[in-house]
Amino acid sequence: MKKTNEVPALQALMSLRLAADIVHQRTTGEKTTSDSVLSEMAELIAARTRVFMRDKYGAVAMLMPDEVLEGEFHAYGSAVRFDDGRPTLTELLIMHDQLERLIDEIGRFYRKSKQSV
């Protein structure tokens, strides 16, 4: 986990799990409670924006992209686990101000993938 002075104020952050739910609803027009669907959405989000983690003391640190994307998302996108013994990443967060951009980008991705089917 990379410690940085560029960690945003807590008010500017939202849970990755909530972001996955919102982005999914806004891009597909559907609600879901599927762990696999929301975990996949969380992975799409993590590939497009910075991800942070809150530790057990409440401190927030930015994660390096490879830290997040080398693992497998689960628990509705709220955690990333690894097969190599690294500890599971939990309390994942993104910047709230990235939400609309992510909805646009992922929405384009979904529209493009539907057109190619």
pLDDT > 90: percent of the chain: 75
Kindly indicate the confidence band of residue 9, based on its pLDDT and cuts at 50, 70 and 90: low
Q: What is the pLDDT of residue 10?
A: 59
Q: What is the mean pLDDT of residues 22-33?
A: 94
Distance CA 18, CA 9 (A): 18
- Got the DSSP string for 33-98? --HHHHHHHHHHHHTTS--EEE-TTS-EEEPPHHHHHTSEEETTTTEEE-TTSPPPB-SEEEEGGG
Q: What is the pTM of this model?
A: 0.85
